[in-house]
A and B are shown apart, each in its own frame.
Chain A
C-alpha cells in the first residue's frame, strides 16, 4: 500500500474526518494513523444510537465506516436529498476510479465524502484508511491464530490432567502417551487429546 503523508500539502490536514466503527481497536488504529499524518480534526463514533443525528451534528467532510456494520445503510440516508443534511454526501472516489473503491471494499471499509470535494484532496486519507484496515485485518488474523493455539494447548493440558489422575502418570509420561497414541493412529495430538476428554466425560 502506498503511503504519502510527506508530500501532502499542509492545507489538507484541515479535513474533518469521522470514523464510525464499533471495533475499538480498529478505530484507534485508523485514528492514530490519521493523527500521525497531521490530521487534526478526527472524530470517532462507537455508539450507534441516533447515528444520523450525531453525524449531522458532527458535520464531517469524510466518513469511514467498517463494512461489517449493518448501520452502513443508516449512513446511506445521507445520499438522499434531505432537509436535515446541510451538505449532500456521496460515495468516495471519482466516478471513473473503480480501483479505489475496490481497494476500500477489499479492505472492508466504506468511505463517503461531501459532494464536490476534489479527489486529490481525499485520496491520501482514503489510502490511509485502506492500509490501516488491512493492517488491522492482519493483526486480527494473527490474534485468531494465537487464540486457536492457546485453545489447543488447553485441550492438551486437560487431556494430560485426566491421564495423570486416572492412570497415576507424571505429566511427562502423560504427554508421551498422548503422542505415542497419535503416532500409532496417524492422528494429531490435539485430536487424541480431544478423544480422551470426550471419553472421560462419557465414562463419568
Chain B
C-alpha cells in the first residue's frame, strides 16, 4: 500500500458528512488517487482526540472546535487547520409540542420569522419566571459549535439571557429526540436529520432554521493537524478536489434520491432516506403531519461560496467565544483564530480565478436582526449586539 495515497477520515453521522461519503462511494477520491477510509465516531471529543493523536488524518469537525483547539481552550493546544467548509447552514431549532403550544398562544406560527418566534418565547420565559416554574432547558451538541452560538444569538437578540433565563445543556444528537419526548429538554439546536426526525415522530416542532437566523451561516469544516497539512500538501490538495467534486454531485437535484439512500446506510448516517431527503431538498416539515415548506438556503452544500473557508467565519466564531466568556479578547488570539481557516490551501487545490473568490460581505449582512458583522473590529461588533439584560 502506498502511504501517500491513504487518508483516514473521521466523521459524525450528520447530513453534512455527505461530501465525504460521496467522495468515498462514488469514485471522486479514487479519481484523485486517494484511498479514503471513513471512520464513524460517536462524539466530537473523540473526533478531536483522534485527530490530535494521529488516528485520523482529517475529520469532519465543528468549525468552532477547530478554532478552540488551535487556541487551546480547555484542552490541549494543538494547531488545527481548516482548508475546506462542508457547506453552510443545515441546522434548525426544534421545540417540544408543549412549548410550541405555549409559544403559539403568544403569536408564534409555522414558518414565522425568528424575531416573531423569539418574541413569543420571551413571553413564555417571563410567564414561567412569574409563576416560579423551573427555567426552560435547551440542548445543543457541543460548547464550541455554531449550534451553541446561533441558539445563543437568537435568544439574546430576542431579549432572553441564555445563561440566566434558560438552561443550556450539551446532549449528543442521538439522545435528543428521546430526551424531548421524556420532557427532560424543551428545545434543541442540531443538524439534520435530527430536527426532521423529531417532527416525523410527533415529538417536536421546528421553530427556526439557523439559515433564518443567519443566512449562509458557516458550519463544519474539514480539519487536520497543522503539522499533517504541512507534511502532506499534495495529498490534502487532492482530497480537496475530490470533496469539491463530491459536493457538486451532492447538490445536483437528480442525485438527491441516491444520496439519501447512500447516507441512510447504517455505516453512515443511518436515518431513513425520506427523512434525510428533507434537509437535502431544503423542504422541511415543520410540525407533525404538516406539509413540507421550502426553507431558502437551508443547507448549501456545494460551490465556492459553500466550500471556501472564509476567514471571517473563523473570526465570527472567535467573537462568539469572547461574547460568551469562553475566552478573553486579545489581538494574538484573534490572529491565531483567523489563521485556523486556510483559504490559501483551498485556493491552491482548486485554482480559483480572482473573480471566483467569495466575498465575506454578503454573508456578514445576513443576520435576522440586521446587525452586520464587522470583522475588522470585533470589540465594536460585540458592543453593537443586543446585550443580554445585565
Nearest-neighbour CB distance to chain B for A51, whole angstroms, equals 9
Bitwise, B74-96 to A at CB < 8 A (1) or not (0) is 11110000000000000000000
- Which among A72, A95, A106 is the interface contact of B76 at CB below 8 angstroms? A95
Q: Specify which chain A residues have a CB less than 8 angstroms from the CB of B295 in the assembled complex.
A: none
Residue A136, interface by CB 8 Å: no
A positions within 8 Å CB-CB of B: 49-50, 52, 67-77, 79-81, 83, 88, 90-91, 93, 95, 98, 101-102, 105-106, 110
- In the complex, residue of chain A having the shortest beta-carbon distance to the beta carbon of B77: A95
Tell me if A73 and B43 are in contact (CB < 8 A). yes
Q: Does B365 contact A (CB under 8 A)?
A: no
Give min CB distance, A45 to chain B, whole Å.
16
Interface size on B, residues (CB 8 A): 30
CA distance A68 to B142 in the complex (A): 17
Q: Is B174 a contact partner of A70 (Cβ separation < 8 A)?
A: yes
Give bound CA distance, A106 to B55, whole Å. 9
| B234 lies within 8 A of chain A by Cβ | no
- CB pair B76–A101 under 8 Å, yes or no, is yes
Report whether B143 and A77 are in contact in the complex, using a CB–CB cutoff of 8 Å: yes
Chain B hits for A67, CB < 8 A: 42-43, 46, 49
Chain B nearest Cβ from A86, distance in angstroms: 16
Q: Is the CB of B325 within 8 A of A105?
A: no
Is B74 within 8 A of A98, CB to CB? no
Q: Which chain B positions have C-beta within 8 A of A102?
A: 53-54
> Do B45 and A72 touch across chains, with their CB atoms under 8 A apart?
yes
Using known A-B contacts A105-B55, A110-B49, determine if residue A70 contacts B75 with beta carbons closer than 8 Å: no
Minimum CB–CB distance for B251 against chain A, Å: 29
Q: Which B-chain residue is minimally distant from A83 (CB atoms)?
A: B163
Residues on A with C-beta less than 8 A from B325 are 81
Q: Is the CB of A79 within 8 A of B143?
A: yes
- Let me know if B44 is at the binding interface, CB within 8 A: yes
With an 8 A cutoff between CB atoms, is B360 at the interface? no
For this complex, 21 residue pairs linking A to B, each with C-beta atoms less than 8 Å apart, are A67-B42, A68-B42, A70-B43, A70-B172, A73-B43, A73-B44, A73-B170, A74-B171, A76-B45, A76-B143, A77-B170, A79-B75, A80-B74, A80-B143, A81-B326, A91-B76, A95-B76, A101-B53, A105-B50, A110-B45, A110-B49
